[in-house]
Amino acid sequence: MTALDAAVHPAGTARPDPRQFAAGGGRPYEAALAAGAGRLRLAPTGGHRPPASALPVPTGHSVLDVARYAGPADAVDLEVLRRARGPVLDVGCGPGRMVHAALREGMPALGIDVAAAAVAVARDRGLPVLHRSVFGPVPVARGWGTVLLLDGNVGIGGDPSGLLSRCAQLVAPWGAVVVETHPDAARDRAFEAVVTDDAGRRSLPFAWAEVGADALVGHAAAAGLAGGSRWVRDGRTFVGLVPLRPVR
């Protein structure tokens, strides 16, 4: 049994953060996952944590398409994997579409997510997914060929520099961290957010961030990563980051 195989069947799971993405309250994310569809809105609460920049807390909201997350990988997702090297670690994997696609492409893959409902969906599909935070114990440290932060997951925890630093500890010296960034290349904002649905359900607040491709450069440098590539497909922007130096 390899280290990756053993990781899929751990002795225990990490205690979830009570301020994790879209958790608690009316549980709109869990309801959408149960339905396999739903368009959720991620919006600032008005109260916010110290921002990643001096910019004000954003107004408006982002739309989260749960049907896309729960469905098969699309052509843009598959292009990401064609540029990737295994093994693949998908951070904030949700129901596991990228893990499933990576395995179909012949690459070893593992997903991690703090949302128990998302992990349950992925495991029901037979996918190797762990219920834990990226900031907790993660197997194969500094051995991942590609670490994925897709679907805005660079916002996890509201601290992009800290998240990228953690990813730099996980990716192999020859590997890459692939980040899907905000469409506004200059966006660099951290804030307190909630997720809501059309039924009026609302999650508890959680820390989140939005980072564009240009702004990502500063966060990456602070984490010991450098921009290796950038591409745009169907309105989605991706940046590949590579280690600048060995990470302790």
**Confidence class for position 61, pLDDT limits 50, 70, 90:** low
CA 237 to chain centre: 14
Higher pLDDT, residue 217 or 12: 217
Q: Coil, strand, or helix at residue 247?
A: coil
* Structural domain includes residue 3: no
Rg (CA), the chain: 17
> Region 94-112: what's the mean pLDDT?
97
Q: With 60 as the cut, is the pLDDT of residue 24 above it?
A: yes
* Structural domain includes residue 60: yes
* Structural domain includes residue 118: yes
* pLDDT given for residue 52 in this prediction: 39
**d(C-alpha 218, C-alpha 112), whole Å:** 26
Q: With 70 as the cut, is the pLDDT of residue 51 above it?
A: no
Can you give the CATH number for the domain in which 58 is found?
3.40.50.150
How much is the mean pLDDT over the chain?
Answer: 87
Q: With 50 as the cut, is the pLDDT of residue 221 above it?
A: yes
Burial annotation 151-186 (CB, 10 A radius, 16+ → b, else e): bbbbbbbbbbbebbbbbbbbbbeebbbbbbbbebbe
Two tokens, residue 12? 């225990």
* Structural domain includes residue 206: yes
Q: With 50 as the cut, is the pLDDT of residue 7 above it?
A: no
Total domains in the fold of the chain:
1
* pLDDT given for residue 55 in this prediction: 36
234: left (phi over 0), alpha (psi -120 to 50) or beta: left
* Structural domain includes residue 229: yes
**Confidence class for position 163, pLDDT limits 50, 70, 90:** very high
**d(C-alpha 226, C-alpha 202), whole Å:** 37
Q: Which of 75, 151, 79 is nearest to 111 (CA)?
A: 151
Helix ranges (H only) for 150-212 are 160-170
Q: Coil, strand, or helix at residue 248?
A: coil
> Region 165-172: what's the mean pLDDT?
97
* pLDDT given for residue 246 in this prediction: 55
* Structural domain includes residue 80: yes
**Confidence class for position 234, pLDDT limits 50, 70, 90:** very high
> Region 119-137: what's the mean pLDDT?
95
- Single pTM value for the model: 0.86
Q: Which of 127, 119, 161 is nearest to 14 (CA)?
A: 119
**d(C-alpha 16, C-alpha 106), whole Å:** 31
> Region 181-199: what's the mean pLDDT?
94
Q: Coil, strand, or helix at residue 116?
A: helix
Is the CA virtual torsion 92, 103, 83, 88 positive or negative? positive
Contact between residue 140 and residue 202 where contact means Cβ atoms under 8 Å apart: no
* Structural domain includes residue 4: no
Give the sheet arrangement for strand 188-196, strand by strand: 62-65, 39-44, 188-196, 206-211
> Region 23-36: what's the mean pLDDT?
90
* Cis peptide bond upstream of 108, omega within 30: no
* Structural domain includes residue 106: yes
Range(s) of the domain holding residue 177: 13-243
> Region 27-33: what's the mean pLDDT?
92
